[in-house]
Amino acid sequence: MQQESVDAIKANPHYQELVRSRKRFAWLLTIIILAIYYGFILTIAFAPSWLGTPIAEGATTTIGMPIGVLIIITAFILTGIYVAKANSKFDALTKTVREEQQ
């Protein structure tokens, strides 16, 4: 890519918005998944017995079971949220930037 077109794209407000909003969104989701996972790992390390508490009086199922399954489902949902936003907002911005470059 020529340096002139790089400079032109960098100066494009749509490009700047794309970079800014995607960066914010991607790191937000990354922090959420890291917080969930390391929160889980630290709970295992420091309070394993809490995860072993029954979900109800007399039940065998422990709190850790739905939590574990929920983390798996949440990971999937987070990727879905990213795809939804990227397919609409980010792709639209990218398209605008590409068109304005031609």
- Which residues in this chain contact other proteins in the complex, by CB under 8 A? 1, 3, 6, 9-10, 15, 18-19, 22, 26-27, 29-30, 33-34, 36-38, 40-42, 44-46, 48-49, 51-52, 59-62, 64-65, 68-69, 71-73, 75-76, 78-80, 82-83, 86-87, 91, 94, 97-98, 101
Considering the complex, state which of residue 13 and residue 83 has its C-beta at the smaller distance from other proteins: 83
DSSP letters, 52-98, are: TSBSSTT-S-BTHHHHHHHHHHHHHHHHHHHHHHIIIIIHHHHHHHH
Q: How far is the CB of 63 from other proteins (least distance, A)?
A: 9
Q: How far is the CB of 44 from other proteins (least distance, A)?
A: 5
Q: How far is the CB of 67 from other proteins (least distance, A)?
A: 9
Tokens standing for residue 88: 């609409």
Residue where the block lists tokens 């936003």: 85
Say how many residues make up the chain. Answer: 102
| CB contact at 8 A, 64 and 52 | yes
